[in-house]
Structure 1
Amino acid sequence: MNQSMTIGIDLAKHVFFVAALDGSGKPARRKKLRRHEVLPFLANHPGAVVGMEACSGAHHWAREIRALGHSVQLLPAQHVKAYLRGQKNDYNDALAIAEAVQHGRIRCVEIKTVDQQLDQSLHRLRQALVTEQTGLINRTRALLA
């Protein structure tokens, strides 16, 4: 694979689906990989553009894949959906991700560091606690009324 190769990865809990497109946009390869097989698979290939849908786990994978020398793009899931053809399945999702990366008009999500992800987790936890506290106060006020 060369730099004009685009790889789309559909992330899941245990099994990842990979679809690769050549420089002209034609499907070059599709593969089903377990979690522990993804990095060795990508380590055996020279630099390519790797795309994934942005989620909390995607940031970890992006950091690992970037360390292997690949260019990584995280795409918002709602924008990738437009590239989906045929029935929704994991291979078609990976192919849609690769096509969206190759098209290049979608604004990528910045890859977060571990510290940034920890900060975001703390902010979301605090927001959940504030929401829960507000609900408890409102319930108590209603009971007292």
Structure 2
Amino acid sequence: MEGCATSHYWGRFAGAEGHEVRLIPPIYVKPFVKRLKNDAADAAAIAEAAVRPNLQFVAVKSAEHQARVVAYRTHQCFMSQRTQIINALRGHLAEFGLVFPQGVPHLKEIRAAMDDEDVDVPPSIREIAGLYLEHIDNLSAKIEELSLRLREAMAVSVGLCRLCTVPGAGPVTAGAIMAFAALLLRALT
């Protein structure tokens, strides 16, 4: 089975039915795709790759392992969205001569400027900035909630605790390593 988005789910399903499941990383299948991308060409490429003698298969991830991957990716997605929204707000305000430094810590300066009646911007800009700031607050709350979940997972997992002893590795970084490094996961648990 090639590594598509649902391969681990179907791998667990087939394994529960008594089948031997061997997932093939997509990078090993790609060289064998001979025609246009379609199901038949993909199946032929998978069959061709599967008979190669030195092919290394991927272990089927448990549902808990996949949940860690989703939590980490969601955390990263929300962080990216927050950065994008902050930069968009800064860009819009710069068009009115209000220039602010980058980063979450400087949001209080933006809030103060929007609350200051002496700052010369149209009322509609204050309203729009308020929408941006409200959205940033919502994302920040979700980011903190996900970070808390990642920290709580650390208390349960011996592997996560060990990874957090590495200088510079906190719960989020340790969670990412545990989520994406299957071999390391097996070695630590």
| TM-score between both structures, scaled by the size of structure 2 | 0.45
Give the Cα separation in 2 of the matches to 1:55 and 1:90: 12
Partner in structure 1 of residue 82 of structure 2: 133
Shift of 1:127: 0.5
Shift of 1:109: 2.1
Partner in structure 1 of residue 120 of structure 2: none
Partner in structure 2 of residue 68 of structure 1: 17
Q: Deviations over 1:44-96 (max 9, x none)?
A: xxxxxxxx111231101111112233221111223201122344432221121
Partner in structure 1 of residue 128 of structure 2: none
Give the Cα separation in 2 of the matches to 1:87 and 1:79: 17
Answer yes or no: is 1:82 the counterpart of 2:31: yes
Q: Which stretches of structure 1, 4 residues or longer, exceed 6 Å deviation after superposition?
A: none
Shift of 1:141: 2.5
| TM-score between both structures, scaled by the size of structure 1 | 0.57
Partner in structure 1 of residue 61 of structure 2: 112
Aligned length, in residue pairs: 94
Give the Cα separation in 2 of the matches to 1:87 and 1:54: 19
Larger Rg: 2
Partner in structure 2 of residue 102 of structure 1: 51
The AA in structure 2 aligned to 1:55 is C
**Higher relative strand content:** 1
Answer yes or no: is 1:123 the counterpart of 2:72: yes
User: Quick one: higher RCO (CA 8 Å, sep 6+), 1 or 2?
Assistant: 1
Answer yes or no: is 1:56 the counterpart of 2:5: yes
Note the residue ranges of structure 2 that are not aligned, 5 or more in a row. Answer: 100-189
Give the Cα separation in 2 of the matches to 1:105 and 1:85: 21
Give the Cα separation in 2 of the matches to 1:117 and 1:102: 28
**Higher relative helix content:** 2
Note the residue ranges of structure 1 that are not aligned, 5 or more in a row. Answer: 1-51
